Chains A and B, each alone.
Chain A
Amino acid sequence: MAVAQRKTDIGPPDFKQFLHPLIKKNYGTWKYHEILEPGVMVHVAESGDRIYTVRAGTPRLLSIESIRTFAGLADTYTGGYLRWTSRHNVEFLLDDPAKIGPLKKELHELGYPVGGTGNGISSIVHTQGWVHCHSSASDASGVVKAVMDELYGHFTHMDLPAKLRVAYACCLNMCGAVHCSDIAILGVHTKAPTINHGDLPKMCEVPTLVASCPTGAIRPASVDGKQSVEVEEEQCMFCGNCYTVCPAMQINNAETDGISIWVGGKVSNARTEPKFSKLAIPFLPNNPPRWPEVVEAVVNIVNVYAKHARKHERMGEWIERIGWPRFFELTGIPFTKYHIDDFKHAGETFKRSTHLKHTR
């Protein structure tokens, strides 16, 4: 009997069918580009052809209604060609510079800001949070929205010393490159998991669960005659890895979950090597709907950086030049024992010289 063949493993569609004709024609032969104004670029090919890009910020979470709106804009202004960036911005690709103004006007009226280029802030790369994640210590979209409302001017204007890349992750799993951002906002759990001994034997493999703990804090135990585990709470660093492998290890806690702030990371190799973000603020309260403490902390760091950094100096490069003592002094952020690393190879993060400025 003939059955319709079920299609599998076809992979993604070939990108070439989605390329603007000018891009197809000049593929691999681009000569240079210019940022004409915030959010608007021109790329010039060896052939002399010019492709214009209009970049707009989006909330990452998009309804199909909005995607259809973008598709409609593309039909009107670009012959139907558009793309997204690695930071959730939508980009419209135009061959006619006369259409840039009208497209910008429509995007503005729809509430999608044009910008995100050059020495400013691009969209915040972020995770799911309470919209769809089980292990999130906080929401993601809400914090990002509240922070970007305040940093909006740095998206629409290129008014910072260098690029400033902000990222948000709602737990230590860090979906996305949060750990190498100029400013990373990170949801944290601060209490050991609550064990549901009734569900655990039904839902989880004890050996896998025990092995999941990076500090060996989880041990097999018999509870009311049933196979379960116990947690040595003093060894727990609240990573939530046990919860990921076993739903009976509830790590989320409405009272004690919060948000931490990290600074000075980058992925680009420009000037200095890529670097991790380092802890600036270990804990801020989880305060929906607009997280005022987090917003204030991020805005403060951005303002101090904007005032003191030299041109082309990324957050981490600026801090390395002035030194961490002065970073804490200028930002007014209290330095605590939590800032001192106590995980693997912690000694490498200690100051091992007398190169000190003694200005405090």
Chain B
Amino acid sequence: MEKKELKTPLLDELEKGPWPSFVREIKKSAEKNPMARDTLGQLERSYEDRISHWKHGGLVGVMGYGGGVIGRYSDLPEEFPEVAAFHTYRVNQPSGWFYTSEALRTICDIWEKHGSGLTNMHGSTGDIILLGSKTEALEPCFADLTEAGWDLGGSGSDVRTPSCCVGPARCEWACYDTLEACYDITQSYQDELHRPMFPYKYKFKFAGCPNDCVAAIARSDMSIIGTWKDAIQIDQEKVREYASDGVDIEAEVVDLCPTGCIAWDGQKITIDNSECVKCMHCINVMPKALAPGKERGATILIGAKAPIVGGALLSSVFVPFIEMKPPFEEIKELAEAIWDVWGEYGKNRERVGEFIQRVGLGNFLEEIGLEPVPEMIAHPRTNPYIFFDEELEEDEDEE
């Protein structure tokens, strides 16, 4: 049967201009793939109607897993039957998004056989997104993926697919092995990742330094951000090179140091490392001359999230400094302690950050078994409504 020509005048407008066009990408797949063709048709309809034509997923997935597949159905199934069911796989990416051409071709071949031929490289959380397949293709596609060494990532109220920055593979600032930590934690929590059993999602993100190239502090329940304790390493010769190459050390480095702990006499810089807050600015400006110290590890922060439900949160300090060595036992012990408390007392769809706001960080620390330290706060409380413990009142009675 000859297909009638698909007209997409609105989307065609988005093939113009210098930035690479997603419309051209959909059209590339649509030449051969009827699902991609109906994706294009339905998207054009959304552009006409100014509304999404996708419906909620309901429960779809692969046998034995509760996450990893996002169910999706068209609300125009008669007009676009090829995307009547259009489910998406989250395929767990390799640490640091490193690939070989061979690995990519394997994924492409599997996806050509089972789905729309459309992908996202990558989804916001970090997974390889295989965009759109039919319900009956789910199990066979999963079988081919696992046979080739790939597995699904997280979705729903589970451990979401952990992700990490490029780390020691190609960055001199990595204060710990983010790729190995991400891989180890992901492998250690396959059950928690594939079978949702938490109040809501739980995200790990591994950033190698305080520049935080994976936005750990903004969006992960457990943000593991590399840092150091000792002195910034300085190559004075290279500092002078930057100065003679036009970097205004006084204006661009000294004046922008947040704690004013750097001095420059025109020949050498001195850093009062006891005042340094490890912000990375001076190192970012002069990567050949400065480097993080040698006593390296990470700060663990917890509780970041986007607005839904109770407002957006940034992560806050939980453990000021730990060493990050395989098998990362301290991270695992902390995560499991958090899951125990939050799993028991957290409400449905309440992220860890919101849970802590509700029960109080002080109470949460007691449950986890961590001592409160002033590094955890921006400043002490300003209100006098203190919930004193009963024991304290008894102590006072005795005096």
Chain A contacts of B16 at CB under 8 A? 149
Most B CB within 10 A of own CB, among A31, A131, A139 = A131
Chain A residues within an 8 Å CB radius of B368: none
Question: Which listed residue (A14, A71, A130) contacts B105, Cβ 8 A?
Answer: A71
A112 vs B103: C-alpha distance in the bound complex, in angstroms? 22
Q: Does B18 contact A7, Cβ atoms closer than 8 Å?
A: no
How many residues of chain A are within 8 Å of chain B by beta carbon?
Answer: 115
Cβ contact within 8 Å between B218 and A179: yes
Is the Cβ of B312 less than 8 Å from the Cβ of A212?
no
Task: Evaluate contact between A18 and B88: CB separation under 8 angstroms.
Answer: no
Nearest-neighbor residue (CB-CB) of A272 within chain B: B258
Tell me if B326 is interfacial: C-beta within 8 Å of chain A: no
Closest beta carbon of chain A to B354's beta carbon, Å: 10
Select from chain B the residue with minimum beta-carbon distance to A147: B19
Any B CB within 8 A of the CB of A194? no
CA gap between A179 and B353 in the complex, in Å:
16
Segment among B145-153, B369-377, B389-397 that sits at the interface with chain A: B145-153
In the complex, are the beta carbons of A43 and B19 less than 8 A apart?
no
Measured CB to CB, the nearest residue on chain B to A17 is: B100
Is there contact, CB below 8 Å, between A134 and B52?
A: yes
The answer to the question of A327 belonging to the interface, with a C-beta cut-off of 8 Å to chain B, is no
B364 within 8 A of A: no
The listed residue (B14, B108, B217, B277) touching A145 by CB distance below 8 A is B14
Tell me which residues across on chain A come within 8 A of B309, comparing CB atoms. 212, 214, 239, 241
User: Are B170 and A177 closer than 8 Å at their CB atoms?
Assistant: no
Which residues of chain A have C-beta atoms less than 8 A from B347's C-beta? 211
Known: A84-B121, A142-B47, A276-B312. A271 touches B98 (CB 8 A): no
Given A63-B117, A81-B100, A268-B211: A254 in contact with B285 (beta carbons within 8 A): no
Of the stretches A98-106, A227-235, A285-293, the one at the interface is A285-293
In the docked arrangement, what's the CA distance between A269 and B212, Å? 8
**Which stretch of A22-30, A301-309, A332-340 is in the interface?**
A22-30
Q: Which residues of A contact B65 (CB under 8 A)?
A: 8
Interface residues of A in 260-279 (CB under 8 A from B): 265, 267-272, 274, 276
With a cutoff of 8 Å between Cβ atoms, the chain B residues found around residue A358 in the complex are none
Contacts of B25 in A (CB 8 A): 59, 61-63, 66
Contact call A83/B97, Cβ cutoff below 8 A: yes
- Of the residues A58, A125, A152, A274, contact of B212 by C-beta under 8 Å: A274
Does B252 interact with chain A (Cβ within 8 Å)?
yes
Q: Check A157 for interface membership: any CB of B closer than 8 A.
A: no
Q: Which residue of A lies closest to B195 (CB)?
A: A9
A71-B101, A86-B215 in contact; A344/B14 too (CB < 8 A)?
Answer: no
A289–B13 CB distance below 8 A: yes
Which residues of B are found within 8 Å of A272, using beta-carbon distances? 258
A153 to B67, CA, bound (A): 40
Q: Write out, one digit per residue, whether chain A residues 196-216 have a CB within 8 A of any chain B CB (1) or not (0).
A: 000000000000100110100
Across the interface, A15 reaches (CB within 8 A) one of B94, B121, B151, B311, namely: B94
Q: B95–A15 contact, CB under 8 A?
A: yes
Q: How many pairs, one residue from A and one from B, have CB atoms within 8 Å of each other in the complex?
A: 356
- CB distance B22 to A61 under 8 Å? yes
Pair A63/B119 contact, Cβ less than 8 Å: yes
| CB-defined contacts of B119 to chain A, threshold 8 Å | 61-64, 67
Q: Which of B55, B191, B210, B312 contacts A179 (CB 8 A)?
A: B312
Q: In the complex, what residues of B have CB within 8 A of residue A297's CB?
A: none
Asked if B19 and A64 make an inter-chain contact with CB atoms under 8 angstroms apart, the answer reads no
0/1 string, B90-132, CB within 8 A of A gives 1: 0011111111111111011001100001111111111000011
Known A67-B108, A130-B43, A214-B309; judge A113-B99 contact (CB<8 A).
no
Q: Are A68 and B104 in contact (CB under 8 A)?
A: yes
Residues in chain B near residue A7, CB distance under 8 A: 143, 146-147
In the bound complex, what is the Cα–Cα distance between A6 and B252 (angstroms)?
58
Are A174 and B307 in touch, CB under 8 angstroms? yes
Complexed CA–CA distance, A302 and B133 (Å): 39
Apart from A61-B25, A271-B279, what are 13 other A-B pairs with CB-CB below 8 Å?
A9-B194, A18-B100, A19-B169, A63-B119, A64-B119, A80-B102, A130-B43, A142-B47, A176-B219, A177-B124, A267-B215, A268-B211, A268-B280
User: What are 7 A-B contacts with C-beta separation under 8 Å?
Assistant: A27-B168, A59-B19, A83-B98, A132-B54, A177-B124, A269-B277, A276-B312
Binding site for B on A (CB under 8 A): 6-15, 17-19, 23, 27-28, 30-34, 43, 51, 53, 57-68, 70-72, 74-75, 80-86, 88, 90, 93, 111-113, 125, 127-136, 139, 141-142, 145-146, 148-149, 152, 155, 169, 172-180, 208, 211-212, 214, 239-241, 244-245, 247, 252-254, 257, 265, 267-272, 274, 276, 286, 288-290, 311-312, 343-344
